[in-house]
């Protein structure tokens, strides 16, 4: 009896052409994180369910993969809550501030939409600063993410910014009950998915008076240049402490982001931005490529000053962001900008006949020592078949050592792109193939 080979929807196999693109991106991400002074951290895929639940919100809690284990275990939903647990468990093991990066898989039992880069298992690349409430920390996180997106192929991605205090102050003005403010944040967070009408109807059916909803919509849908928009809201609601405090902090962060050299047109104050997770307390931010609205956000994060305190018993400020690598790869593929290769090999060393195997192996060894990814063809087939193998994999150079080449002390090297062939020394091949 044969078993049908199949995958659970939302899960993926990564074939060589996928992994090569992924690993190339990961190298850029890691290099950027390290260049900014962040240290690596890793946590288990499995956490106690009680660690995860109650931190994200009811809607997100329903997306946690419960393992139905007698010990109460679940797959991690994100990398932020595990970070909070780690900081609380090892209070004396980290400097203050603690700057960490983490690149690991997470799992969510949500509807899979592969074309939009939405999967049930996906890679998150997080950077966080723990132990600092300075607006410089918020600005650094935003600046890092903008620069990284540019390096990954999105130089014009716009980062929308808002502040939870400002948003909750606007809800206060709209007469939204304090105990329901987080719930409204979760609903507003779906604006990009269901649109204004969908959000409006959900708020009304959720029992919010139409006057409250109309007032809230009138405010959060205001738009304009960053300075003018913040001035307008500040003048209009100058007696609301939450709004004034949020605007003051947001202005500081925006000024500092510009000090990092980020152009002002890549940052946009958006009063409707809410970020659906419960643990955010201050600045919130999210990046997307305007040319690909169907892809959704490429990054997202914010300040969460109360989360670690749930585990440690004392408030420890923190701010961070998630870089959605799989979403970024989906966006690049959608735009036709993803370089797809099936091998990292730069030079295929052919085997002319069995007697010359040692010569072929010796050349490949010399190339590898020089840092040139190389492979030796494993059988003594016709050269035509060996060239066909290189062509199929996209190997750019093919080296041939026959009896004549061995006598002359040279190697015949063919450029598979141009079709040109010339006799070279191993040293010359190394310089050419770098």
SS (H, E, C) 369-382: HCCCCEEECCCCCC
8 A C-beta contact, residue 142 and residue 285: yes
pLDDT at 179: 86
Q: Give the rounded distance of the alpha carbon of 10 from its chain centre.
A: 17
Check if the beta carbon of residue 339 is closer than 8 Å to that of residue 21: yes
What sign does the CA torsion over 127, 145, 54, 281 have?
positive
Amino acid 277: pLDDT = 79
Split the chain (434 residues) into runs of 10 and give each run's mean pLDDT: 91 91 94 98 98 86 93 97 97 96 95 80 96 98 97 94 94 88 84 85 88 88 92 94 96 98 96 88 94 89 96 96 92 84 94 93 97 96 95 96 94 96 96 92
Fold observed for domain 16-334: BirA Bifunctional Protein; domain 2 (3.30.930)
Lookup: tokens for 352: 């002319």
What does the alpha-carbon distance between residue 104 and residue 64 come to, in Å, rounded to a whole number? 16
Give me the residue label for tokens 């409430």: 133
- Cβ of 320: how many Cβ atoms within 10 Å? 24
What is the structure's pLDDT at 130?
98
Question: Alpha helix locations (H) across 307-410?
Answer: 309-312, 325-334, 357-369, 383-393, 403-408
Give CA–CA dist 33/148, Å, rounded: 9
Among candidate residues 334, 338, 359, the one with its CA nearest the CA of residue 349: 359
Pairing of strands 347-349, 267-269: unpaired
Q: Report pLDDT for 199.
A: 87
Region(s) of the chain under CATH 3.30.930.10: 16-334
- Judged on CB neighbours under 10 Å (0-12, 13-18, 19+), 337 is exposed
* Residue carrying the six token digits 């063809």: 377
CA distance 170 to 215: 9
Say what the pLDDT of residue 187 is: 86
Q: Assess contact for 194 and 261: CB atoms under 8 A.
A: no
Q: Which fold has domain 347-433?
A: Rossmann fold (3.40.50)
pLDDT at 113: 81
Q: How far apart are CA 162 and CA 183, in angstroms?
A: 17
Find the angle CA(26)-CA(28)-CA(31) to the nearest 5 degrees: 105
Which segments of the chain belong to CATH 3.40.50.800?
347-433
**Residues 207-257: tens digit of each pLDDT:** 888 988 888 888 888 889 999 999 999 999 999 999 999 999 999 999 999
Rounded Cα distance between 254 and 160, Å, is 11
Residues 414, 267: Cα–Cα separation, whole Å? 49
At residue 125, the 3 state secondary structure works out as: strand
Can you list the positions of beta strands (E) in 223-346? 267-269, 283-288, 297-303, 318-324
By the 8 A CB rule, do 140 and 261 touch? no
Alpha-carbon torsion, ordered 221, 222, 227, 228, to 10 deg: 180
The model carries a pTM of: 0.90
């Amino acid at each position: 009896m044969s078993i049908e080979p199949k995958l659970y929807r939302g899960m993926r196999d990564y074939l060589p052409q996928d992994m090569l693109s992924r690993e190339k991106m990961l190298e850029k991400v890691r290099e950027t994180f390290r260049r900014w002074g962040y240290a690596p951290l890793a946590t288990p895929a499995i956490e106690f369910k009680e660690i995860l639940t109650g931190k994200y919100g009811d809607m997100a809690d329903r997306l946690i993969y419960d393992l139905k284990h007698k010990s109460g275990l679940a797959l991690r939903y994100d990398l932020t809550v595990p970070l909070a647990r780690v900081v609380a468990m090892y209070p004396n093991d980290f400097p203050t501030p603690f700057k960490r990066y983490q690149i690991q898989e997470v799992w969510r039992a949500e509807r899979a939409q592969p074309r939009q880069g939405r999967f049930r298992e996906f890679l998150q690349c997080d950077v966080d600063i723990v132990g600092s409430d300075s607006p410089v920390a918020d600005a650094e996180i935003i600046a890092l993410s903008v620069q990284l997106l540019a390096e990954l192929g999105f130089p014009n991605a716009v980062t929308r910014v808002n502040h939870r205090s400002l948003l909750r102050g606007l809800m206060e003005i709209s007469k939204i009950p304090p105990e329901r403010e987080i719930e409204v944040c979760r609903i507003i967070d779906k604006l990009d998915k269901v649109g204004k009408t969908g959000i409006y109807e959900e708020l009304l059916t959720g029992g919010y008076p139409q006057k409250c909803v109309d007032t809230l919509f009138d405010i959060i849908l205001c738009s304009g240049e960053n300075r003018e928009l913040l001035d307008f809201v500040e003048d209009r609601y100058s007696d609301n402490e939450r709004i004034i405090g949020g605007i003051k902090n947001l202005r500081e962060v925006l000024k500092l982001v510009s000090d990092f050299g980020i152009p002002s047109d890549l940052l946009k104050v958006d009063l409707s931005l809410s970020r659906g997770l419960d643990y955010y307390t201050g600045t919130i931010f999210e990046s997307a490529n305007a040319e690909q609205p169907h892809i959704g956000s490429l990054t997202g994060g914010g300040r969460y000053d109360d989360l670690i305190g749930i585990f440690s018993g004392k408030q420890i400020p923190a701010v961070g962001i998630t870089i959605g690598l799989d979403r970024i790869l989906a966006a690049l593929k959608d735009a036709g900008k993803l370089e797809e290769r099936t091998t990292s090999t730069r030079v295929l060393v052919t085997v002319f006949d069995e007697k010359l195997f040692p010569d072929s192996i010796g050349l490949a060894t010399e190339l590898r020592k020089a840092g040139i990814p190389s492979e030796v063809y494993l059988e003594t087939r016709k050269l035509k078949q060996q060239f066909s193998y290189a062509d199929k994999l996209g190997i750019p150079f093919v080296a041939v050592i026959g009896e004549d080449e061995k006598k002359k002390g040279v190697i015949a090297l063919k450029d598979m792109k141009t079709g040109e062939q010339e006799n070279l020394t191993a040293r010359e091949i190394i310089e050419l193939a770098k």
